[in-house]
Amino acid sequence: MEIKTLTLDDYDIIISLWKMAGLSYRPNGRDAKNEICRQIKESSDLFIGSFENNILIGVIVGSDDGRISRNSVQFM
């Protein structure tokens, strides 16, 4: 297994993995390509991927909206 920072180029495989896992996906909101790309540009170290044989098998996304701390973990 390889752990690496995700990039703008990984957007499509991130969304594909979320859909395969049955996670909620908001293409017109927080998960829109322009929104995810903005977040990656601002805080690329908060987008981490787990790869097995060059296939994305897990994603960790950290974020801070500037308000009270909230935590959420979704397992696949």
Q: Per the confidence metrics, is the pTM higher than 0.75? A: yes
What is the CATH code for 2-61?
3.40.630.30
pLDDT of residue 44: 82
**Residue whose structure tokens are 């957007």:** 11
**In the predicted structure, residue 67 carries a pLDDT above the cut 90:** no
**In the predicted structure, residue 64 carries a pLDDT above the cut 80:** no
pLDDT tens, position by position, 29-44: 888 999 988 888 888 8
Domain extents in the chain:
2-61
pLDDT of residue 17: 93
pLDDT of residue 48: 94
**Residue whose structure tokens are 């296939």:** 55
